[in-house]
Amino acid sequence: MERLRMAVFATGNGSNFQALVDAIQEGQLHATMELLVCDRPTAKVVERAEQAGVDTFLFHPKQYANREAYEMEILKQLEEKQIDLVVLAGYMRIITETLVTPYYGRLINIHPSLLPAFPGKDAIQQALDYGTKVTGVTVHFVDGGMDTGPIIAQRAVAIDEGVQVDDVTQSVQRIERELYPQVVQWFCEGRIQLIDRIVHINHS
């Protein structure tokens, strides 16, 4: 089986990037990590990529006229490296049609809530403020909206009474680091089919 060629977009610490790198190195993920795209060159994830020997494309968004301009540069990088799957992992920017159109169905994101509840920023704090008893993790396709794409997989995380945001965050991040490599491996094995908004996963 030919290995799936993957690029990760990240902005911050890069814990999910590291989870994917570790899964590849441990033989649990049949993919190659070809590129990190990062809009904050000082982010911790850049250091993680350098340690893992992964190529990086770093950019300052303010140096471009608009989102489409820097996404055209990113698209060139993806095409040059023949990327099969784009994985957003804490990338804090809306993706435009410049990338969504050529990569739709091959462009995924992870979000720290059970979508469609609590999209956007500070999802865990949103859940606590609302008083919900359950939150979780969602992996979904990217369609250009704010966490609106078709849902691939979800896992729930209970919110106990009196719990603090940091505690919930740790629980959510632990699930993220387990679920994201698993979903990417489903792509590697050709198990995921997207029909309209419905995602079908072959578990046989």
Q: Looking at the whole model, is its pTM more than 0.85?
A: yes
- Rounded Cα distance between 134 and 57, Å, is 37
For residue 16, what is the domain's CATH number? 3.40.50.170
- Rounded Cα distance between 14 and 18, Å, is 6
Residues whose CB falls within 8 Å of the CB of residue 186, separated by 6 or more in sequence, listed in order: 152, 192, 201
Domain count, the chain: 1
Q: From the candidates 111, 140, 200, 203, give the one annotated as an active-site residue.
A: 111
- Let me know: does 99 contact 86? Beta carbons within 8 Å: yes
% the chain with pLDDT above 70 = 100
pLDDT at 1: 60
- Rounded Cα distance between 139 and 109, Å, is 6
β-strand partners of 141: 108
Looking at residues 17-29, what average pLDDT do you find?
95
- Rounded Cα distance between 121 and 182, Å, is 24
Closest-CA residue to 5 (of 38, 35, 47, 50): 35
Backbone φ, ψ for residue 37 (5° rounding): -110, 125
Query: What is the span of the domain harbouring residue 51?
Result: 4-201
pLDDT tens string 139-174 = 999 998 999 999 999 999 999 988 999 999 999 999
Establish whether 203 is a catalytic residue.
Answer: no
Cis-peptide into 116, omega within 30 deg: yes
